[in-house]
Copies of this chain bind each other. A is one copy, B any other.
Amino acid sequence: MEEQPIGILDSGVGGLTVVKEIFRQLPKEKVIYFGDTARCPYGPRPAEEVKEFTLEIVNFLVKQKVKMIVIACNTATAAALDTVKEKVNIPVVGVIGPGSLAAIKHTKTGKIGVIGTEGTIFSGAYEQTLKKINPKLSIVSQACPSLVPLVESGIQEKEEIKKIVNEALKPIAKKEIDSLILGCTHYPILSEYIQEVVGSHVKLLSSAEETAREVSTILHYQNIAAHHLNSSAHRFYTTGDPIHFKQIAEQWLGQKIEVESVNL
């Protein structure tokens, strides 16, 4: 069990920010990554459809004998985490819990901001998770539908990125918050731009970094963390164009990878 890979899924390339953090925080672990690029973005889709897509990918990963499922996509976590937990008998970790707990740990004022896709924000999942733990928290949420397409496009020109991020964050930048949850795994890629818009007094909580931390907690709690530096390669699957995926993934991860195209 311990030496089996961790299965990580996302609507596209965003979940690679979680993979990068798992590589950093848990260097002995092997991962199988599934990016559903052909059907990305999940953000604007109905929750039922996102749930269906997520379960398809979970089935694929379970067949690859993964020891844990990480839903490295906020939209899919909001729509499908509870259902996935019921269906499989291995640990399942989503990205909404870890970001929420980190914000609760960090906030001094109790005023927390959340940005995400339309699917994530309109589901109210962060607000519910946070308020369930502490009803006195004050939450400001904002959907930023332009940011996932920005990241997936691979645009490199700084001025263009800056302009789009500025526009997307304008409303929440005026709110009084001391912590901002980057409630989409694509957003850590844009964190320097986001930090500039909201100001340095606001702590950005990356669901990528925090999810890797939670994966580590659960692996150790369940006693299924890898003991050995496994020499087999990580595996990456995409439903979209493997060349485009490989390009973006290698740039983010800073290492060469093999990508396989797959149809569900």
1/0 per residue A206-218: CB within 8 Å of B? 0001001110111
1/0 per residue A1-26: CB within 8 Å of B? 00000000000000000000000011
Q: Which residues from B are CB-within-8-Å of A133?
A: 25-28, 216, 225
Report whether B218 and A104 are in contact in the complex, using a CB–CB cutoff of 8 Å: no
Shortest distance between the CB of A126 and any CB in chain B (Å):
14
Given A104-B25, A136-B27, A225-B133; A214-B216 close (CB under 8 Å): no
Given A133-B225, A225-B133; A216-B101 close (CB under 8 Å): yes
Q: Which residues from B are CB-within-8-Å of A119?
A: none
Report whether B220 and A217 are in contact in the complex, using a CB–CB cutoff of 8 Å: no
Q: Which residues from B are CB-within-8-Å of A101?
A: 25, 213, 216-217, 220
A201 contacts the other chain (CB 8 A): no
A105 contacts the other chain (CB 8 A): yes
Q: Which residues from B are CB-within-8-Å of A212?
A: 105
Q: Which residues from B are CB-within-8-Å of A214?
A: 217
Which residues, 20 to 50 on A, are CB-close (under 8 Å) to B?
25-28
Q: Which residues from B are CB-within-8-Å of A220?
A: 97, 101
Give A contacts to B, CB under 8 Å: 25-28, 91, 97-98, 101-102, 104-105, 132-136, 209, 212-214, 216-218, 220-221, 225, 227, 229
16 new A-B contacts, CB < 8 A, other than A98-B217, A105-B213, A132-B227, are: A25-B105, A25-B134, A91-B221, A97-B217, A97-B220, A101-B216, A101-B217, A101-B220, A102-B213, A105-B212, A133-B216, A135-B229, A217-B217, A217-B218, A218-B221, A221-B221
